[in-house]
């Protein structure tokens, strides 16, 4: 294992020439308190288009903090984060929201589907601010749900679905806008092994289709499916 302080964690191999999607440069995130916590302690990371990366690490190592920064849900306290080459750290909240909505898809452990909306409506809502007309948005939502094998449950309430089905709907919602980056935080944390395998198969398909994936997990089975593994420990990254 190589310690990544000072040297960029760049990955290697097949994606070497592809455009950078994520570039973290000396990134820090501290929380004030006594004592203050440096949840990210100077992180360098380069993820190129089409890569499938897992980030593994124990509880408290900084995984969620990293995901929130990558998802533009939180700002770093130091360093920079370029998404698709666009600097984001000192950018206005409005512009960050626009980048988040247009370029990032999220999959969370708890699915976060709206319980009083149908499956189709949940996916449609993600396209609301895309500027695309309603008819075409609906077509895309249906296509995304077909793609995850949920085209037969368009009008179901999420509460009537199994965990695995809910997570497949959440994946459809994450990809319907055609994001540059799919971020997943413990995506199989609430699933049985069969449903987990189905979600991981779906990630493989999305990867094969050219999507860039960063999956945060403490599960070795999930981590093993990624093509590249990065370990986080005490707010620092290292290639595994
Ligand atoms: P993980 O997701 O790997 O379990 P986190 O990113 O949630 O780790 O947390 C990393 C460290 O930062 C921990 O020590 C945690 O207590 C601290 N931390 C996270 N969020 C906050 C916060 N809002 N305020 C203070 N400390 C925090
Ligand atoms: Mg966490």
Q: Does residue 160 fall inside a structural domain? A: yes
State the average pLDDT over residues 135-155: 97
Distance CA 65, CA 99 (A): 19
Q: Output the CA 151–ligand 2 centroid distance in Å.
A: 32
Q: Does residue 8 fall inside a structural domain? A: no
**Which residues lie at CB < 5 A from ion ligand 2?**
63-64
Of ligand 1's listed atoms, the one at least distance from the Cα of 66 is 6
Ligand nearest to the CA of 68: 1
State the average pLDDT over residues 165-183: 97
Q: Does residue 144 fall inside a structural domain? A: yes
Q: Does residue 31 fall inside a structural domain? A: no
Q: Does residue 24 fall inside a structural domain? A: no
pLDDT digits (tens, 9 = 90+) for 74-87: 999 999 999 999 99
Q: Which phi and psi (to 5°) does residue 204 adopt?
A: -60, -45
Q: For the domain that residue 127 is a member of, what is the CATH number?
A: 3.40.50.300
Prediction pTM value? 0.91
Q: How confident is the model at residue 130 (pLDDT cuts 50, 70, 90)?
A: confident
Ligand nearest to the CA of 58: 1
Q: Does residue 112 fall inside a structural domain? A: yes
Q: Does residue 12 fall inside a structural domain? A: no
Q: How confident is the model at residue 153 (pLDDT cuts 50, 70, 90)?
A: very high
- Look at the chain and report how many structural domains it folds into: 1
Residue 55 scores a pLDDT above 50: yes
Best CA proximity match to 127, nearest among 142, 137, 118, 119: 137
Specify the residue with its C-alpha closest to ligand 1, atom 5. 62
Residue 1 scores a pLDDT above 50: no
Range of the domain at 181: 49-73+90-239
Q: Does residue 5 fall inside a structural domain? A: no
pLDDT digits (tens, 9 = 90+) for 182-203: 999 999 999 999 999 999 999 9
Distance CA 33, CA 30 (A): 9
CA–CA distance from 95 to each of 106, 168, 176 (Å)? 18, 29, 21
What is the predicted pLDDT for the residue at 9? 66
What is the predicted pLDDT for the residue at 8? 52
Contacting residues for 90 by C-beta, under 8 A, at least 6 apart: none
């Amino acid at each position: 294992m190589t310690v990544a302080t000072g040297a960029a964690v760049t990955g290697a191999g097949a994606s070497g020439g592809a455009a950078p999607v994520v570039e973290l440069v000396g990134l820090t995130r501290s929380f004030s308190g006594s004592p203050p916590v440096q949840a990210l302690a100077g992180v360098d990371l380069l993820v190129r288009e089409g890569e499938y990366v897992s980030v593994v690490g124990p509880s408290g190592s900084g995984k969620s903090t990293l995901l929130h920064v990558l998802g533009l849900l939180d700002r770093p306290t130091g360093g920079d984060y370029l998404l698709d080459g666009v600097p984001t750290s000192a950018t206005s909240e409005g512009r960050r929201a626009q980048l988040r909505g247009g370029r990032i898809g999220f999959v969370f452990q708890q699915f976060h589907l709206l319980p009083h909306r149908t499956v189709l409506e949940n996916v449609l809502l993600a396209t609301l601010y895309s500027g695309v007309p309603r008819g075409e948005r609906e077509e895309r939502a249906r296509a995304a749900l077909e793609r995850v094998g949920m085209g037969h449950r368009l009008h179901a309430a999420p509460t009537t679905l199994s965990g695995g089905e809910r997570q497949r709907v959440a994946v459809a919602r994450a990809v319907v806008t055609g994001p540059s980056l799919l971020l997943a935080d413990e995506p199989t944390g609430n699933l049985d092994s069969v449903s987990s395998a189905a979600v991981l198969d779906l990630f493989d398909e999305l990867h094969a289709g050219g999507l860039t994936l960063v999956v945060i997990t403490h599960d070795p089975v999930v981590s093993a499916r990624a093509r590249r593994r990065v370990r986080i420990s005490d707010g620092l990254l290292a290639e595994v």
